[in-house]
Amino acid sequence: MSDETATGAETETSADFISLSDIRIAHLELMRMASANEAVDPSMKRSDKAGAGTTEASIDNTVPDARTIRDFLAKARRAGSTIERESDRRAAQRILDYWSAELVTRPGITSADISPVRLAAFAGGGGLETAEPVAVAADDESASREITDSGAIAIAVPESVVVTTKDGAVSGDGFASDDELSSDELTERFRIRVAAQARQWKNTGYPGYLLRGEALKEAAELPQGPDIAEFVEASAKAETDSQKQRDRSKNLLIAVFGLAALILAATTYFAFLQRDDAFAEGERAGRKAVQIEKLNDKLNAALKDAENARAQAEAARDVALKNADDAAKRLAEQQATQATLRSAIVLVVQQLKLGKMAIDELTPDLRQAVLVELAGQVKNGEVSISQLPVPLQSALEPLLGQAIDKQPSSSTGYKVDFIQAKIGLPRLTGDLARDASATPLDYINYSLVMGRSHRIAIYSAVNLDRSQRMTLQVTGGGLRYDSRLLHDLQPDRAWYLRPDRRWLPARLANASDIAWGPEFTGDPATAALRLAQYTYVLPNTMPQSGAFYETRWAPLENWVRTLHNPLANKVTIFSGTIFKPTSHPIDGVPVPYAYWKLAVSSVSAAVKGEVREPQFVVDAFLIPGDATDEFDPDRYRVPVAELENRTGLNFGYLIEWSDTHPGPNGTAADNLAARLKLLDSANDAQAVRDELTSVLGNPDLPVSEKRKVVAALVGMAGLQSMTGLTQAGRSNVLDALLGVPTEFWARPDWVPVFAGARRAVADLIVSAAGPQTIIGDQDRNALNTLKERLHIQPSTQTVYVQFAGMAREDAEALSAKMRALGWGIPKPGEERVAAAAGKNEVRYNPDVDADRRAAELLAADLTAAGQKVTAQAVPVIGANTLEIWISI
C-alpha cells in the first residue's frame, strides 16, 4: 500500500523509523489514540454512538485518522530497509498488516489504501523483499478516487499501482503477492483482515460485512479474540438463517410447483371429463336432432292434413250455410203454402160436411190432407163423426183407428246427453223452485217444466235432430188438456178462444223441431196426426199477440232451427217465459213480461282442426213482450249470464260459453278482442286503435260482435290491469273507451258491459285521488268525460243495504263502491238483518218503471263489483227507493 497522499508523492513530515522499536513506539501511540477515541463505549455501533451524544462530525473525524495511519504505514514500511533480523521483520510486518486493516475503516480512504503494505526490503539484501521501494505512486485516477462506501471494502479489488525503487526500477505493484508469503504469513494476514472486517461490522452493524461460505469456515479455524469470535458467531448465525430462508423458499417453491401441478392435473382431468361429456352430449344432441327432424316431418304432415281438414270443414260450412239459407226460404214458402192450403182444406171440409162435395172427387194428395184435418177435429172433439156424411165416416175410420192417443213414455222426453255432452235441465232457484211442478212433463223429443202460479210452463227443453227432421202437414186440430195434469194447473183453453182472438197459443216446443225419429216414420197422415197429438197440448202454449208472434217469435224459431251453428246436426233448445213478481193478468190472461230462447250445440273436433273434446256454440235471446221491432238476432241476443239474471234459472257451465265461443274458428271481433293488449305496444297501438274505430263504426257488423270487443276493452280498463300498463298504454285504453258510440251503452243487452265500464272508471277515479296514482293529467280529462257518458252521477233513488252472513266491514266496503258510482246510500246505510240470509237481490217497486231500470243497473253494478245479485220486484217497496239484500 502506498504511503503517499492523494497526489501520489511521498512526503516526510517527521523523522523516519530506523528500527523495530521505533515502529512499536509509534504503534503504541496510535493504539492509545484509538483507545481514547472509543472511551464512550468501544462495543457501541456507529449508530449507538450517535445516540450517546457523539456527533456525526466526531464520528467521521475518527482518531487516528486515515492520514495519520497512512503516514505511519509509510514510515514503518521504509524502516524495513534497516531491519535485518527475520523475526523482527515479521513482527514489524504484523504491525503493518494491523494498521493496513485499520486504514480501510477510516473515512476518506482511496483505492491505493486497499492493498496491505509490505515492509521494505533490507538494504543489505535478503529479507521479505529484494528491492526497497522508495515511493508508491498510484495512477492519477485511482490515487485521487476516494472510497465512500465502506460496505464495499471487503470485496474491493485494488487497482494496479506502480512501485518505484530508489534507482527508478519498476518492481511490479510494490506489494508482495500471496505466492511470495509463507503459510503462517498468509494466515496472519487473513486474521488481520478478519479482525478489520469484524471491527467494521461491529461499528456499523451492516450485515454485508459478515462472512459466508469458505471464508467463514477458515475464520472459524483462526485463533480468536473476543471481537473475532463474536464476528464469526454472528456470521455463522447469519449463514444458518440464510440457509433456513433458502430452505423455506425452496420448500415454498416446491409446494407452489406441487400445487400448480395438482391444479394442472385436476384441470386436465376435468377437461377430459368435460370433453367426454361434450362428446356424449353431442351424440345425444345428434340423436335428438334426428328425432326432432322426424317429429317435424310428422308435424308438417299433420299440419297439412289439418289444413286439408280445415279447408274441407270450411267448404262444408259454406255448403251448410247455403243449405240453411235455402231451408229457411223453403220453410217460409212452405209456411205460406200451408197457410193457403189450410184455408183451402178448411173450405173443402166445410163443403164435405154439407154434402156439397164428395170425398172421391178430390185428388189423392188433397184427399189425404182433408182426412187428416177432419181426423184432428174429431179427435179434439170439435166435430162429431156421426154428423159427417157416411162416405166421410168410412174414409176416416182407418185414421181414427190408429193408436195415436197414448201419452209418450218418460224415456222419450228430453235427453241430457243428446249433443255429445250432458246438458242438464236448467236448475230452478228461489221463488221459481217453489212455484214449479214436482216433475217435468215428458213428450216426444221434448219436456216441459210447469209453473203453478201462472198456469204456464216455466220453460221447455227440446232435442232437435236436423238430419232426421221431417216436414209434416200442420193439422187444424184444436188444443187439448194433458190428462196427467189438473186443468187448473194448465193454460186455460178459453184464453185462446176469445172472440177478438187477442192471444195466440204460441208453442214453447215448435212442432217442426220435434218432428223427427221413429215416432214419425211411416204413413205421413198418421205421422201428422201424431205430431199434432204431441204438440197441440195446452201445457205447451203461452199467450202472445198476433203481431208479436208473426214478427218476432216465429222468426226467432226459424233462425234457431236453421241458422244456429249450421254445421251441427243436433241442437238442444230451451224456451221459456219471464213474469214480473206482481204481474197482473190482462183481461184474465197471465201474459209474460218477456220471452226467451237458448240454443246450444257442439262443434266437432274435425271442424276445429284439432284433436280434442267438442266445444259448445251457444246463442241466447230475450225479447220483451212489448217489443215493437221486427226480429233481429243481434238486437235481442244476450249473454247467458244476463239470461240467468233475468229468468232466475241456473244454466250451469253453459254460462262459460256465452259470447266467448261464437263458432269453430272465432270471428274477426274475437281476433280483435285478443289483440287489444297491443294497445300497450309502442309499435302496434295505432294500428289496433284504427282497427277498433273501424269495427265499432262498421254498420254491417252485428252489435253482439261489437259487444265482444268492448267487453274485452272494459276488462283492460280495470284498475289491476291498468296498473300493469305503461302510461301510453293507459291513455290508449281510455281513448278507445271514449270511441265507443254512446248509444251502445244504452242498449238493454249491454247492461253487464255497461256496469263493468262504470266499475273500471269509478275505481280509476278513486285511484286518481290517492297519493300514488297512476293517472296523469291527460288521463284525468278522459276519465271525467267517461264519467259523464257512463252516468256516474247521483241517483234519484235512495238505497238501503240489508246484509247477513258477512262482516260489517265487507258490507261497508261494498257500499263505498256503490257510492263511488253515484248510488245514494246513506251513512250509515248498512243494517244486519237475519232475513237477508240466503238472499242476493235488489228490491224495487214494480209499479215505477224508473225504479225497475235503476234496480237492474244496480244489480249489474253489484255483480261487476263481485257480489252477484238479481233485481226483484216487491210491491211494498216505496217509490224512488231500492233495497239491497245480500249475503254470502
Q: What gap in Å lies between CA 869 and CA 865, rounded to an integer?
A: 10
Please write the tens of the pLDDT for every residue from 653-662.
554 444 444 4
Least confident of 177-191, 415-429, 689-703, 738-752: 177-191
Mean pLDDT of the 820-831 span? 90
Q: Which residue has the higher pLDDT, 666 or 495?
A: 495
Q: Which residue has the higher pLDDT, 663 or 243?
A: 243
Phi, psi of 541, rounded to the nearest 5 degrees: -115, 160
Q: Which residue has the higher pLDDT, 121 or 194?
A: 121
* Beta strand spans in 738-839 (E): 798-804, 830-832
Of the candidates 170, 238, 159, 250, the one whose C-alpha atom is nearest the C-alpha of residue 206 is 238
Q: Is the pLDDT of residue 636 over 70?
A: yes
Which cell numbers in the block locate residue 49? 454512538
Q: What gap in Å lies between CA 461 and CA 112, rounded to an integer?
A: 137
Please write the tens of the pLDDT for every residue from 10-22.
444 467 898 888 8
Which residues fall within 8 angstroms of residue 64, CB to CB, at 6 or more apart? 30, 33, 34, 72
Q: Which residues of 274-306 are buried (b: 16+ CB within 10 A; e: fewer)?
A: eeeeeeeeeeeeeeeeeeeeeeeeeeeeeeeeb
Please write the tens of the pLDDT for every residue from 467-488.
888 877 666 557 888 888 899 9
Please write the tens of the pLDDT for every residue from 410-467.
347 888 888 877 788 888 877 787 888 768 889 989 999 999 888 999 999 999 998 8
Dihedral (CA of 460, 466, 467, 471) sign: positive
The domain 408-655 having CATH identifier 3.40.50.1000: the answer here is no
Q: Highest-confidence range of 684-698, 714-728, 813-827, by mean pLDDT?
A: 813-827
Q: How many Cβ atoms are within 10 Å of 212's Cβ, its own excluded?
A: 11
DSSP assignment of 617-682 equals EEEEEEEETT--SPP-HHHHB--HHHHHHHH-EE-GGGGGGTTT--SSS--HHHHHHHHGGGGG-T
Query: Would the pTM of this model clear 0.75, i.e. be above it?
Result: no
What pLDDT was estimated at residue 398? 65
Tell me the longest C-alpha to C-alpha distance in the chain: 203
Same fold for the domain at 408-655 and the one at 794-888?
A: no
β partners of residue 164: 135, 170
What pLDDT was estimated at residue 476? 53
What pLDDT was estimated at residue 142? 35
User: Residue 487 in contact with residue 526, Cβ under 8 Å?
Assistant: no
Q: Is the pLDDT of residue 836 over 70?
A: yes
What pLDDT was estimated at residue 32? 82
Please write the tens of the pLDDT for every residue from 247-288.
888 888 888 888 888 898 888 887 777 777 777 777 777 777
Q: 45, exposed or middle or buried, with CB in 10 Å at 0-12, 13-18, 19+?
A: middle
What pLDDT was estimated at residue 862? 93
Q: What is the mean pLDDT of the chain?
A: 77
Q: Is the pLDDT of residue 501 over 90?
A: no
Q: Which CATH class is domain 794-888?
A: alpha beta
Least confident of 122-136, 216-230, 538-552, 781-795: 122-136
Would you place residue 317 in the very low, low, confident or very high pLDDT band (cuts 50, 70, 90)? low
Domain locations in the chain as residue ranges: 20-209, 408-655, 667-791, 794-888
Please write the tens of the pLDDT for every residue from 64-92.
888 898 899 999 999 999 998 998 898 88
User: Residue 173 in contact with residue 131, Cβ under 8 Å?
Assistant: no
Q: What gap in Å lies between CA 412 and CA 432, rounded to an integer?
A: 25
